[in-house]
Amino acid sequence: MRFDVLTTFPEVFEGPLGSSIMGRARERELVDCRVHNIRDWTHDRHRTTDDYPFGGGVGMVMKPEPVCEAVRDLQGQPPEGLVILTTPQGKVLDHQLVEELAGEKRLILLCGHYEGVDERVSDLVVDREISVGDFVVTGGELPALIIMDAVIRLVPGVLGAEESAQADSFAWDGLLDCPHYTRPREYEGHSVPDVLLSGNHGEIAKWRRAQAIKRTAERRPDLLATAKLSDEERDFAETVLRQETD
């Protein structure tokens, strides 16, 4: 899978793309990540990518010319890519959307900055606008990295054991993940649950499933509406919810 990132701050990507899972995925050539400086598509001596907004107001706005030219140049290289603008106005990223993006052959990630990007960029060259949450960060670079990290984890072969990604939060029938423990067995008065030491894998699976439902009901009850639960499991979740509100 190929990623192309368009940014005015390419140095932000050097560390993350060379580390951990993303770094190993690149070394094994499972993904191709290319970072491009939007300033390379400017035509003035100062390599200007932003200007004052029409109508006044604070901040600067990214100009349409270099951004559109950059996207079109990249789209001229096969395979065809889905162009994504990272913006607080976009669809909020969730696991379902990550799975959709992982099905693409190529993603072109456009990082907004300053007060935003000229609206004509979205009109002309952007396919999807995506937000990583209801908050504002300095620029689109960190959201782009979040999107890349989430998608790369789902690329076949990246994690080694594909079931690892399927056991993560949200991937497990729309539930949060269950608690995890490792050595030592006891730490500062807190012990590992006995069932995890029993060797009974059937009971361990039941415990983990119940804990995932309980944790979701306690922390993210909004997820229960779309979670894949049996009637018995849904009754259990509702019991937890009632206990939380009592």
Average model confidence (pLDDT) across the chain: 94
Whole-model pTM: value is 0.91
Report pLDDT for 21.
95
- Rounded distance between C-alpha atoms, residue 5 and residue 228, angstroms: 35
Q: pLDDT tens digits, residue range 88-139?
A: 999 999 999 999 999 999 999 999 888 899 999 999 999 999 999 999 999 9
From residue 16, give the alpha-carbon distance in Å to each of 23, 122, 162.
7, 27, 22
pLDDT at residue 163 in the model = 44
Q: Please, what is the angle between helix 201-219 and helix 231-245, to 10°?
A: 50
160: confidence class by pLDDT, cuts 50, 70, 90 = confident
Cα–Cα distance between 103 and 15 in angstroms, integer?
A: 26
Give me the architecture of the 167-245 domain, per CATH.
Orthogonal Bundle (1.10)
Question: Which CATH class, in words, describes the domain spanning 2-152?
Answer: alpha beta
Instruction: Answer whether residue 152 shows pLDDT above 90.
Output: yes
Is the distance from CB of 101 to CB of 82 less than 8 angstroms?
A: yes
Question: How many CA atoms lie less than 13 Å away from 11 in the CB half-sphere?
Answer: 0
Q: What is the mean pLDDT of residues 58-87?
A: 96
Which residues are annotated as catalytic? 88, 115, 153, 168
Asked if residue 166 has pLDDT above 70, the reply is no
Q: Where in the chain is the domain with CATH 3.40.1280.10?
A: 2-152
Q: What integer pLDDT is reported at residue 217 of this predicted model?
A: 97
pLDDT surpasses 50 at 69: yes
**Residue % of the chain over a pLDDT of 70:** 96
Predicted local distance difference test score (pLDDT) of residue 165 = 67
Report the pLDDT averaged over residues 197-204: 97
Q: What is the mean pLDDT of residues 217-245?
A: 95
